[in-house]
Every structure is written in structure tokens, then in C-alpha cells.
Amino acid sequence: MRRLGWANALLGLGAVLLLVAAVLYLAPSGDYILLPENARPLEPLVHVQGEKPDPNGGGIYYVAVDVRKASLLEKAFPRIHEGATLVPAHEINPAGESDRIRRQADLRDMAQSQKFAAAVALRQLGYKVQVRKRGVLIEAVAADFPATGKLQSGDVVVAVDGAPVRSVGDLRRLMEPKKPGDEVRLKIRRNGKTRDVTLKTVANPKNPKQAFLGVVISDDAEVVKLPVDVRINLGNVGGPSAGLAFALDLVDELGRDVDHGNRVAATGEIELDGSIRPVGGVKQKTIGARRSGMDLFLVPGENAAEARRYADGLRVIPVDSFQQALRELATAAPNA
């Protein structure tokens, strides 16, 4: 009888612990968790007029990150998932934005990345693409830098020291001669009106010799018309980081052998001039590409060091432009 009593007690305790674990796993915390997702092929999701079959296999793949509220159990023990990263809510939804607002912004970024990728890819193949450039969009302003309180998200820079700015390339070219401590006069467009803003630059935290304003920028441009029909459907996947993969896949589907038989994963935000911008979630994306059996993983140059920490045998190739990505893939050894 005593043994039965102990057995029943242990069974009861086990049931209670399972119930507590279930509650902790289902109950959301205030933080978010980033998790890897497997790499996925773009070929069935991208349709372009005049596309041709791939003669040698391989393919271009995109990698995404699963972003969701962390449960109380995941917050306490994030290592129950491979490659998990806990992130405070304010980093995912700045200024108290809701998940819905962030989701809408991510879907807008995805739509723009598709248009920019199509424009870059088709231009690479010799097509004429009609684009209307309107300046440089301020996407975000970092705290405690010169732009704080003077610029805001949604502003559009249209001139620097009187010289017109129509693209990110223009802004970077005009800022390149500046040294930390120099003043820069920006003409911006805000709510349909223009105004002048003067800022004193500081040293870039990543490059002390480079003048820095503390803003996240992108092209404020509209792809007016593409010469061929392009349709890309990734469902509910949002954000701009698949732009490089889109452009590579489009060139591949239109007959140029981009992958050379390799399974190529790629991440990076693409600009209309073909430059590739760094992205977030590189840890998760690298793990997703590795465990999906990719041969190569193309990442923006600034993300390469982080990607290599989690590559574990996966070949990581840093690229800073679409043209560089094509050159690197052209010289990569074919998959045996």
C-alpha cells in the first residue's frame, strides 16, 4: 500500500509538472523570439514572361525568420530551440507600434523589394526599365545621433549642400568627402513641403574616419513600368531581405545560368542601383540555410562575419552589389 501511495504521488506530481510546463509554453511573455526557417526554392514562386527551364538543377533559395511572441517557457529556456534569439518587444515594434502595423510595413517592404529586384535583374539582362526617382527616404532615425530630433521616419532627402539627390547612390557620393565634425545641409521633403536641416556629423561607430548622421535610408522611387510581366508570391512573408534572391532567380529563370548547379541561398536588401544592404536575423537565416543543405550562402558584406559564426561548413560569400553576386557565382565551383 505504501508503494502504491508513493507511485500515485509521483504520478500526480508528474501530471502537475506537465500541466505547468504546458501553461508556460502557451502563455506569452513580453518578449519576442527569432527562430530559423528552412530555405525555400524561389522557382515555383516566381513567374516571369519568357522564363526557361533550369538545365542543370541547383536553384536560388530564400531564407526567412520566424518572428513571434516568446512563451514564458521559451523566455526562461530559449535553448530548447536551435538558433533561437530572444528580443525585447521595443526592438521588434519601435515606439510601441502594434504587431499589425509592423506586419503592414513588412508587407510593403516586401512589395517594394520585389519591384526593385525585378528592375535590377531586367536591367542586367539589357531591358529598359522605367523608374521615377524621388530622393532618399529616411526609414528610421537612431537615438543619440545628429539626426535625432531633426529628421524623422518618412522624410525624403532631395539635396545635400545644394546638390540634388535622387538616389541612395547620390547621397553616399555626396557624403563620402565629409569628415566627422563637418556640417551638412540637407533639403528634405516632409508632408509635401520642403525645408532645410543642418546637421553636424559624428564618427561612424563602425568606421571612425567616416562622417555619420545616424539614419537608415532607402531609395524613394517608383518602378513605373516593367518591360515583361513579373509575378512573385511568397504568401505572408514580409520584409525586404529577399531582394537579392529575387533578382538572382529572375536572371536565372530568363536563361542565364546563375547557380551553376549549386543550391544557392541568398539574403540581402537590394537597391535600384544594384547595391546590397545588410539585413537582420542572419544567425537564424544561416542556420536555416545550413540545415537545408545549401551549397552556398550569399550575404551582405556587413553580415558575413556573423553568418560565418553559424555556418558550420556552409560556404558563406559576402557581396555588396548584385553585379558582385553574379561574378562570385560565376567563379564558384559547380556542385559535383
Residues 204 and 296 in one domain: no
- More confident site: 18 or 66: 66
From 167, 201, 222, the end of a domain falls on 222
Average pLDDT, integer, range 206-231: 87
Q: What is the mean pLDDT of the chain?
A: 87
Q: Which three cell numbers stand for residue 111?
A: 512589395
Average pLDDT, integer, range 226-247: 90
Res 185 pLDDT > 90: yes
Ranking 36-50, 89-103, 288-302, 311-325 by mean pLDDT, the lowest is 89-103
- More confident site: 153 or 312: 312
Res 179 pLDDT > 60: yes
Average pLDDT, integer, range 277-305: 96
Q: What is the pLDDT of residues 7-21, one digit of tens each?
A: 555 565 565 555 555
- 19 lies in some domain: no
- 3 lies in some domain: no
- 6 lies in some domain: no
In the chain, the percentage of residues whose pLDDT exceeds 70 is 89
From 222, 257, 275, the end of a domain falls on 222
Res 195 pLDDT > 50: yes
Region label for 120, one of left (φ > 0), alpha (ψ between -120 and 50) or beta (otherwise): alpha
What integer pLDDT is reported at residue 24 of this predicted model?
A: 47
Residues 217 and 238 in one domain: no
Res 322 pLDDT > 50: yes
Residues 242 and 207 in one domain: no
Residues 245 and 294 in one domain: yes
Residues 245 and 203 in one domain: no
Average pLDDT, integer, range 175-181: 93
Residues in CB range of 281: below 8 A, 6 or more apart: 34, 65, 67, 241
Res 323 pLDDT > 90: yes
What integer pLDDT is reported at residue 336 of this predicted model?
A: 45
User: What is the rounded CA–CA span in Å between residue 133 and residue 224?
Assistant: 10
Average pLDDT, integer, range 200-225: 86
> What is the model's pTM?
0.79
Res 1 pLDDT > 80: no
Average pLDDT, integer, range 295-313: 97
Average pLDDT, integer, range 131-137: 89
Res 297 pLDDT > 60: yes
Q: How many domains does the chain have?
A: 2
User: What is the rounded CA–CA span in Å between residue 304 and residue 281?
Assistant: 12
From 181, 205, 222, the end of a domain falls on 222
Residues 95 and 234 in one domain: yes
- Mind spelling out the 3-state secondary structure of the chain? CHHHHHHHHHHHHHHHHHHHHHHHHHCEEEEEEEEECCCEECCCCEEECCCCCCCCCCEEEECCEEEEEEEHHHHHCHHHCCCCEEECHHHHCHHHCCHHHHHHHHHHHHHHHHHHHHHHHHHHCCCCCEEEEEEEEEEEECCCCCCCCCCCCCCEEEEECCEECCCHHHHHHHHCCCCCCCEEEEEEEECCEEEEEEEECEEECCEEEEEECCEEEEEEEEEEECCCCEEECCCCCCCCCCHHHHHHHHHHHCCCCCCCCCEEEECCEECCCCEEECCCCHHHHHHHHHHCCCCEEEEEHHHHHHHHHCCCCCEEEEECEHHHHHHHHHHCCCCC
What integer pLDDT is reported at residue 251 of this predicted model?
A: 96
Q: What is the pLDDT of residues 76-102, one digit of tens each?
A: 777 788 898 888 887 777 655 677 777
Q: What is the pLDDT of residues 252-263, one digit of tens each?
A: 999 899 999 999
Residues 205 and 246 in one domain: no
What residues make up the domain containing 171? 130-222
- 104 lies in some domain: yes
- 80 lies in some domain: yes
Q: What is the pLDDT of residues 149-166, one digit of tens each?
A: 899 888 999 999 999 999
Average pLDDT, integer, range 112-131: 93
What integer pLDDT is reported at residue 94 of this predicted model?
A: 64
- 24 lies in some domain: no
Q: Which three cell numbers stand for residue 69?
A: 511572441
Ranking 30-44, 68-82, 260-274, 294-308 by mean pLDDT, the lowest is 68-82
User: What is the rounded CA–CA span in Å between residue 77 and residue 29?
Assistant: 12
